Structures are given as C-alpha cells and as structure tokens.
Amino acid sequence: MNETSSIRCTLGLLAITLITMCGGCASLTNPVANGIPAHLLPDELLASSVERLEPTPLDWLKVTPPDPYRLDTGDILGIYVEGALGDRDQVLPINFPQVGNAPPSTGFPVPIGEDGAVSLPFVKTVKVKGMTVEEAQTAIESAYVENQILKAEKLRALVTLVRARTARIHVIREDAPGSRAYNDDASYRLFGSAPSLGQRSKGTGMELELAETEADVLSALALTGGLPGPTAANEVVIYRGADGKSDGTLPADWKQRAVATPKITRIPLRIEPGSARNFTEDDIRLRAGDIVFIPPRETDVYYTGGLLPAREVPLPRDNDLRVVEAMLRVGGSVLNGGSIIGNFNQSGAFLSSIQNSNPSLLTVIRRTPNNQQVVIRVDLNRALRDPRENLLVHPGDMLVLQETPSEAVSRYFANVFDFGIFSQVWRRGSAAGQASLSLP
C-alpha cells in the first residue's frame, strides 16, 4: 500500500502542476503568430528572386568606335605643307600622344576650331569637320592650289592626327571597390550586430580624360576599380551635363525621382534572362561634363528578434536568402537537439537522452507595395522539407522566432521543474522513490 500511495501522490502532483500551467504560467502566454501560412502565401506577396537575374553583357556597356574616324572640334592635326607650313630642310616634329592608343604622328600641331576648320598660312581657314584624315589632306592641298599659292605638280603636304578630341568626366563611387562581405566584420561576430550599409560605404572620386570616341561606361568602370562591389547597387547612374557644363540646379523632387529624367541616365548591371537591351549605345556614351555615379546599397537589410538575437543584417546583393539561412546567419539553431529536460538520475543515467526541441514558429512581418503590413507564419520544421515554406527574405523583413504551445510546455518542464527521482523499479521491482519540484 505504501508503494501504491507514493505513486498516486506523485501522479497527483503532476496533475496539479499541469492545471497550474494551463491557468497562466508565463511559458504559455508568449505571443503566438496567427498569420498567413507561408506555403499558402499569394504570389504578389512573395519576394522576387535576385538569382534569376543575369549580369549585363560587358560589350553592351561599350560603344563601337567609328570607322573611319571623323574629324571634329577638339581634334589636333599634324600638318606639313612644304613652302607654306614648313621647309624642305626643316626637320618635321614628331608628336607622341598622351591620351588614347593612337600611334606617334608628324607635322606641326594645328587644332580644329569651334567652326570645324583649321587656320593655315596664306589660305586662312579650311573646313575639315566630318572628314577623314585623308579627306582633310586632300582639302588642304586643294586650298593651296585653288588659291594659286602652290602648284599642284610641286605640292608636298602631309596631314596626320596628333590628338583625338577628349571628354573630361568625373566618376564618383560609393562601393569601396574590393570590399569583403559584411559577416567578416569583427563587430558582427563579437557584438551581435552587423554594421549598416551606410557605414560600410566608402566614397571615392576620380577625374578621367578619355578619347571621345572611346568614352563609355565600361571604360569609366575599368579605369576606376572595375565593376561595382557588393556594397553598391546594381546600376550606374549618369548625370548629364548641358553642352559639357552642368546647369547647377537641383530639382525640388530629386529625392523622390525613381526613374531617369532627360538629364539622368540609369544603366542596369543585372537584367532578366533573355531580355533585350533596354538602353541604347547613345545612353552609355559619355560626354564632357558627365558625372558617372555608383550609388550605395542603403536599405537591403532584414531584422531579427524574439528568440533570435536582435540584429540588422545586410542581404546578399546577387544571391537569394531564405528564412532558414537567415536564422543561421544570426546564430539561430535549427534542429540542434536543444538541452536535456530536468535532472533525471538513476544511479548513472536515467532518461539522459531526453532532449528539448528548438522553437519552430517563425513570424515574418513584411511590408507590401502599398505600404501595408502582412504577417506570415513559417513552420521551420516544415521549411526544412518544403521549399514553399522556406520563404525568400525580402528587404525590410522582420523575422521573429517564437515557440509553439507544445514547445513552450517542453521548455517549461526543462527550465522550471526540478526532479530528483531515485528509483529501484528495475533493480528490485519496487516503486519507492522521492520527487521534488518547484512551481511558478
């Protein structure tokens, strides 16, 4: 009878404890999400995949040089006309270009003026705009013959291109070329918070002087550090100058402008697979006074909370991130076994393999395009098996980890109850023992 009474007493205490827990213990009063199940989420609320995008072909960012080269204002010609510009016994000057890949040239440097003409002795000006170098030489020879300055049979002339016209542009980058991913930052590992995107961006600026026929987006990027790094947006913004000069005005709505204006050109660096080029060669051509800007990424982050560490974490720029991976990034555990329930002992090890389950209820709070808010419920156990449950993380998402009711009960037993059972059931066939527990 004593053994039977002891067992009944123990069972009675357990029953009373369960009733007490259901009556309002803190472990069961934590908030539980009541949102839309992730696998039932409509398509318009799903995050878009960034991995589906492909890099813009590099040859799309380069202009095709004109063939043949046509002269215009800003070009410098090397001209020699025996008896008018240079003598037979005079050594011709040799010119080595400082810009571009042109070969060395000979002749006296003569620039093409704003009117598209060159000024020469005895014939005043000769129009050469729009001509090739060979055509310009023919025009200069004809000018001296038609004005009876030199005879055709004795005329000796030479025209070369000393320096092609150039475009002076500015390149401003806020991507810190060559920077590594944020998770390598020591402050992320030690203090539990990744640095914000704005703190990691580092502005650099350069002034370039490019041959006008070779001034394009690809050249500007190649000469200033290459393609934008992971801290930059996937686009290049070109602020156009007016006739080589900025008008110096800033529109009142410049912060709200999300599309290109006539003076702003946006070139995407990642595009939909199989899509046609949505910009022209004239869009990627740079002119004097243009400013090429590589903008930083400022808002591509997600937030964690609840049973996860409270953090602001940058999203990968060119790779998809799903909720399970997002949890692991901040140190969350998935199916790691948890901790042992209570302190069961029986002369060595009694129930030592009983373990506590991890929280599996993840609430995703997401903003909609119309600036509303939707709550999404993710079952992490199902997310490990079903890709539809393992949602893509959208910029601005808040991930809050919680417990299900059954997990709360399990944790309650593990953290609140303290059992000490010394039983001889298996050794002697008796059920004598003692138990102690503490209630909330």
pLDDT at residue 96, rounded to an integer: 78
pLDDT at residue 343, rounded to an integer: 38
Query: What residue type is 349 in one-letter code?
Result: A
pLDDT tens digits, one per residue of 366-389 = 998 888 889 999 998 899 889 899
Beta strands in 128-231 (DSSP E): 157-163, 166-173, 204-211
With cut-offs at 50, 70 and 90, classify the pLDDT of residue 349: very low
Cα Rg, the chain, nearest whole Å: 38
| β 117-120/124-127 pair status | antiparallel
pLDDT at residue 23, rounded to an integer: 44
pLDDT at residue 153, rounded to an integer: 86
- In the predicted model, what is the mean pLDDT of residues 357-365? 84
pLDDT tens digits, one per residue of 28-45 = 555 545 788 988 888 888
Residue 423 and residue 390: Cα distance in Å, rounded? 45
For 5, residues 6+ apart whose C-beta sits below 8 A from its C-beta are none
With cut-offs at 50, 70 and 90, classify the pLDDT of residue 294: very high
Higher confidence at residue 413 or residue 25? 413
Q: Report the Cα–Cα distance between both ends of the chain, in Å, rounded.
A: 32
pLDDT at residue 65, rounded to an integer: 86
pLDDT at residue 104, rounded to an integer: 82
pLDDT tens digits, one per residue of 214-236 = 899 999 999 998 999 888 889 99
Highest mean pLDDT among 133-137, 310-314, 350-354: 133-137
User: What percent of the chain is predicted at pLDDT more than 70?
Assistant: 68
Task: Look up residue 190 and give its two tokens.
Answer: 């030690």
User: What percent of the chain is predicted at pLDDT more than 90?
Assistant: 33
Beta bridge partners of 359: none
- In terms of C-beta density within 10 A (0-12 exposed, 13-18 middle, 19 or more buried), how is residue 182 classed? buried
pLDDT at residue 242, rounded to an integer: 53
Which residue carries 């129930």 as its tokens? 351
Residue 266 and residue 367: Cα distance in Å, rounded? 26
Where along the chain do its domains lie?
2-52+301-428, 76-163, 176-294
For 366, residues 6+ apart whose C-beta sits below 8 A from its C-beta are 45, 373, 374, 376, 394, 396, 397, 398
- In the predicted model, what is the mean pLDDT of residues 382-407? 88
pLDDT at residue 201, rounded to an integer: 53
pLDDT at residue 307, rounded to an integer: 87
Higher confidence at residue 250 or residue 95? 95
Residue 200 scores a pLDDT above 80: no
Q: Give the Cβ contact number of residue 118 at 10 Å.
A: 26
With cut-offs at 50, 70 and 90, classify the pLDDT of residue 342: very low
Helical spans, DSSP H, in 263-392: 281-284, 323-329, 380-383
Residue 353 scores a pLDDT above 80: no
Q: Does domain 76-163 have CATH number 3.30.1950?
A: yes
- What is the number of residues in the chain? 440
pLDDT at residue 134, rounded to an integer: 94
Sign of CA dihedral 68, 70, 76, 79: positive
pLDDT at residue 188, rounded to an integer: 45
DSSP, collapsed to helix, strand or coil, labels residue 325 as helix
pLDDT tens digits, one per residue of 85-126 = 888 777 778 877 766 567 788 889 999 999 999 999 999 899
From 265-269, 305-309, 419-423, the region with the lowest mean pLDDT: 419-423
Mean pLDDT across the chain: 77
